[in-house]
Structure 1
């Protein structure tokens, strides 16, 4: 049985998923973003927000 979650929780879970898998696949950020978007059923706006967040954190290092 599926559980309904608030969208903000899905975005947090998607961000955690990307962060966890980035260590394994550091060169595949775009692929991970796409996978997380599909896996957590993110809207295009949410997916873009995550992309901007991770691109910004990448440039900060």
Structure 2
């Protein structure tokens, strides 16, 4: 990983959450799960980070 792609601790999650919110506003609620998956890939979130976002960003109906 090059120094330009490294993020300080916590910064990656902040950016991922910000992008998730922006994309959700643009694309709408029906795309919530897909947006979350794309953000996780883009920011190379760990499984633990993804689980955290999934728990907090998806409602029970969307998880199914």
Q: TM-score range by the shorter chain?
A: 0.7 to 0.9
Matches within 5 A, 1:17-56: 17-26=19-28, 27-55=30-58
TM-score (norm 1): 0.79
CA RMSD of aligned residues (A): 1.6
Q: Structure 2: which 5+ residue stretches go unaligned?
A: 60-64
Aligned pairs, how many? 56
| TM-fit CA distance, 1:44 | 0.8
Structure 1 unaligned runs (5+)? 57-61
- Structure with the higher fraction of residues in helix conformation: 2
